[in-house]
Amino acid sequence: MTHQPNIGGFDFYTDAGRRKCYSQLVKNALERHGHKKESEEDQNETQEEGNDYVISESVLGQYFTKGKIRGILRCPCGICKDMWRSIPPENDAALADKIANGKDRIELQKLLATLSFMGGTFAMRGLDKHVCYTVDEAVEGMRDRDDLRRLLFDLFKERWTSELCCHNPRHNDALHCLEQCFREQLRSKAWILRIPTFQANNLTRQFRERQNMPFINQKRIGCSGARNDRAFFKFQIHPEYCDEKLQALHLFRKQLSISNGHSDTRERVRDESNILIFLKEIHHPNIAEVLFAYEEETPPRFSLVFKYYPYDLQKILSQADVDQADFSMNEDTAEQFPGSLLDHWVWKGFLGVLDAVAAVHEPQNYIKSIPPTSSIELVGGHFDIKPANIVIDENRVFYLTDFGQAYFKNVRRGEESNLTITPGTPNYRPPPHYKRQAEAGGTSDKVAKKKWTRAYDIWSLACVAAEILDFIIAGGPTAWRKFYEDRQKDDEDSFARFWKRDTNGTEVLKECVQNRLNSYKLRGDEYLNRVVKQIEEMFKTNETPSATAKACLQAFSASVEVNRLMFKGEQDDLVGGEGTHKTFEKMRTEFSTERVLKPLRCSLFVWRNTQRDKITLTVEFPGTDGGTIIMPNSTLRNRDDFIPVGLFDVDTLFDENRLRADGISLQCAFRNMHDGVIFHFHKRSDFYHLQGALTNQFPRERSEFRFRSCSLEQARSFTRRSWNSVSGHLQLWRQLTEEDYDNLYRSTSNPIIILPDRPRVEESSSSSSSVKKMKPTGKKKPITFVRLAFFLCEPESRTLIMVSLNEDVFHEKFDLDKPEMSIERKSSEEKIFAAVFEHPIKDAKFKATSSSWLDYYPGIPLSNTVLSQAVSDGKGFKSIKVQFWNMDDQRRFREMYQKYQNG
């Protein structure tokens, strides 16, 4: 990269080049070792110096070895040589070791790298002597320091002339001018090593100083709606500068310029950002959520970052840059509309978008934090629904995106209200009569033109639905393009919109649109006829349609067969089905409720949705009339717990210190899913397999040991706490990897289902969605996470403590004379990573509203992420002491523990 010279003043980098200083060699080497930001096909020859590479801390650490730093300090150029001529070599060796290995090495390496970019490595020795370890300390530390000024710039006086001074007021002597030039040039390069770290869900980040964003493999892309004040990029984040959720993700950035010349620009950007933040609360599986956002002051702009989706519906319909092979791996496994032409992945994906629009229109139904009121409700609208704003991932999941035109407001319950917006793309815009009439009182025409209702979105959805039908039924992209051209021909302005004005000036549906809808009715497809009828209702031109997005979705989703598969998402995976290690439906399983105390025999079916991180548990049991009752219930894994009630009854589990034989009744429940239902298992292995299938936490065989006492002392707390128990047991758990999980539980095919003619079906809390289907896997990999689970079983203080055994932060000791074991942290600066789960009733606020005895039991998070986060973020422990029942138990546990340590 060509150096950009400073405008006026003494240019230290140019001077370093003339004297062949090592500064330039260091700069060039760091750029070679750094990670390129732009992809090869998107390189920009005019890119600003320093903005084309990410020079990470690991690159600095690998490059700045002790030997290399000594070489830099002993540069043979005229200035550097005069600097070190009288310095003993051992002094430079000590400084090199400090920069390479000292406690302040990261900041010192950043300072040395910044100096190399402005030709100032000669100053490193002097800045260290005056304890200036960062760029800011160097810039400020030079002020009014005559000794440092003379040390660094005396040798440059002969190279300076008064004509070089560009400061105001001008300097009369060389040293002051050189010092100011040096500080300015050092500060101007500091941003190259000022690299921020990004975390998912951080939506309020502001950078007042210029940053070198750690964005790599970046490519500018064109998008619908591109303007001069915005740009779009596909990129990734350097793994050293983001959390695990963002690592390796392909991301999409919408970069909005905040122009000082337009007063409404910042407000418009803020509005869009606030809407996207609000939509995260809805957490709908078919709304593209913003991952993080940030604002920069230099240059002034605001960026919104999303997951990158490779396709949008516009590309699918037109077949532009789409490789059909990308979708062949995910063939549909279950018919949602059997026998209909619309049993097609594009149509089924579109229904997810319709569900998303229903959530946008009535967000109050989806966000628990909004208190219900009797008179006021929150409503919203998207106002720019079109195929280009519906993105699709490689697993055929559809997402509604681009909420730049969206609007939300509070209205009186039961009343439609006008929303003041700028209408979206003309082709998908409804007829003008959809606008609300301006209120009396002199409202200007300009304002009246922006008054629309949520019916705007209903029209736009009908437009997209009509295009999808033509794509599926009439012949793919060729038919879609013909439909587009026909609409253009039938329009006085050559727009491809769906309505026009007839000779009387009346707004009517274009003939080419109505003719296609009529032709679909002749195909003898009952479900298709129902869809067409609903689209015609949405296409009303003589009045504003009364149908809501929710009602449209219900009409489009009506054709569903009544069996257990009706509760299965399009690509949900059956857990523990035929051909797996455990088939849950064949277990001896029972359930009871508050009204039915005697357990009833039942079969269980578990469906896992990895895309939405959702679990569906269906309970099937015979009814009194001979029919089969199907009782499904779903939960998001990050919002629910598996409550192992039976594992807190230590006397039922053990006869003194020996595990009882099968035949006992082990009970479990869930905090939210199947509320009020207790499940009973008569085999310990069945119980643990359900636990493993739902939580990924599986107890190792023969790893259960009862203890006489257990003491755990917390670390890093001002009010240090300890847990002591004389009733309980411990288990050694492994967390199943995805490959282990697949080998144990993933069913390779759906079961054949035979149900009675008239089954009774309970209400389900789940909703259908396109999700990723897991691929078959091969050989097992080693288990990554192993944890020690302590069940403290006193009735008044039931506690579950999970201790991570993966971190090298503790040492264990087994007493050779007593049946005791202790685990101690290695240093006071460390902690034994652990998570503590106590029963919710300990919370006084919870106790006031609790009515269930299950609230006296802690639960295991269903989500691996929640559990791992709890282990990582917990205060951890200083020490753990366990007294086993006898020496034989201690010996057996020690052998198992050491076997784990040896892999």
Per-residue confidence (pLDDT) for residue 761, from 0 to 100: 32
Residue 579: predicted pLDDT: 66
Give the mean model confidence (pLDDT) for residues 343-353: 93
Angle between the N-to-C axes of helices 738-745 and 684-695, in degrees from 0 to 180, rounded to the nearest 10? 130
| pLDDT at 611 (0 to 100) | 83
Tokens representing residue 536 in the block? 């015609």
Instruction: Please check the confidence at residue 849 and state whether its pLDDT lies above 80.
Output: no
pLDDT of residue 351: 95
Confidence of residue 595 (pLDDT cuts 50, 70, 90): confident
Q: Which residues contact 389 (CB under 8 A, 6 or more apart)?
A: 224, 312, 400, 401, 402
Phi, psi of 583 (to 5 degrees): -100, 105
Mean pLDDT, residues 140-160: 86
Contact yes or no for 837/643 (Cβ under 8 A): no
Q: DSSP alpha helices (H): ranges in 300-398?
A: 313-318, 345-361
Residue 773 has pLDDT above 60, yes or no: no
Picking from 208, 835, 330, the residue whose alpha carbon sits closest to that of residue 611 is 330
**Residue 810, helix vs strand vs coil:** strand
Q: What is the 3-state secondary structure (H, E, C) of 742-791?
A: HHHHECCCCCCCCCCCCCEECCCCCCCCCCCCCCCCCCCCCCCEEEEEEE
Q: Is the peptide bond before 299 cis (omega within 30 degrees of 0)?
A: yes
Quick one: pLDDT at residue 536?
93
pLDDT at res. 778: 46
Instruction: Answer for the pair 499, 431: CB distance below 8 angstroms, yes or no.
Output: yes
> Cβ(222)–Cβ(230) under 8 Å?
no
pLDDT for 173 beyond 60:
yes
Percent with pLDDT over 70 in the chain: 82
pLDDT of residue 328: 45
Q: Give the torsion through C-alpha atoms of 231, 236, 241, 244, to 10 deg.
A: 130
pLDDT at position 774 is: 37
Q: Residue 874 CB: number of other CB atoms within 10 A?
A: 21
Cα 315 from Cα 349, distance rounded (Å): 15
Q: What is the pLDDT of residue 718?
A: 60
The answer to whether the beta carbons of residues 877 and 824 sit under 8 Å apart is: no
Is the pLDDT reported for residue 103 higher than 90? yes
Look at strands 628-636 and 760-761 and give their pairing: parallel
Average of per-residue pLDDT values in the chain: 83
492 or 641: which carries more pLDDT confidence? 641
Of 425, 338, 431, whose CA–CA distance to 382 is shortest? 425
Using CA atoms, how far apart are residues 223 and 233, in angstroms rounded to an integer?
10
- The DSSP H or E segment spanning 230 is strand 230-237
Q: What is the pLDDT of residues 797-845, one digit of tens each?
A: 899 999 999 888 999 999 999 999 999 999 988 999 999 998 776 654 5
Q: What phi and psi, each to the nearest 5 degrees, are found at residue 329?
A: -75, -10
State yes or no: pLDDT of 144 exceeds 90. Answer: no
pLDDT tens readout for residues 692-704: 999 999 998 888 9
Instruction: Say what the pTM is.
Output: 0.58
Predicted pLDDT of residue 169: 83
Cα separation, 198 vs 468, in Å, equals 39
**Which residues partner with 787 through β-bridges?**
733, 804
| Cα–Cα distance, 890 to 892 (Å, whole number) | 6
pLDDT of 751 over the 50 cut:
no
The sign of the torsion formed by the CA atoms of 505, 508, 513, 518 equals negative
DSSP, res 672: S
Q: Which helix (H) or strand (E) holds 279?
A: helix 265-282
Q: Which of 18, 20, 49, 54 is nearest to 36 (CA)?
A: 54
Pairing of strands 705-714, 877-884: antiparallel
- Is it the case that residue 312 has pLDDT exceeding 70? yes
pLDDT tens, 663-697?
788 999 999 999 989 999 988 889 999 999 999 99
Using pLDDT thresholds of 50, 70 and 90, give the confidence band for residue 72: very high
> At residue 275, does pLDDT exceed 80?
yes
SS3 16: helix
pLDDT tens profile 44-54: 544 566 678 89
pLDDT for the residue numbered 842: 60
d(CA 219, CA 217): 7
CA 894 to chain centre: 40
Q: How confident is the model at residue 903 (pLDDT cuts 50, 70, 90)?
A: low
Give the pLDDT of residue 81: 92
DSSP 895: H
The answer to whether the Cα torsion of 75, 80, 84, 90 is positive or negative is negative
The pLDDT value given to residue 377: 78
Provide the 3-class DSSP secondary structure of residue 663.
coil
Contact 686, 735 (CB under 8 A): no
**Token pair for 747:** 């069913």
492 pLDDT higher than 70: yes
CA distance readout (Å), 532 to 230, 479, 768, 854: 38, 18, 22, 50
Question: DSSP strand E in 238-309: where?
Answer: 251-257, 290-297, 300-307
Residue 342 to residue 335: CA distance in whole angstroms: 10
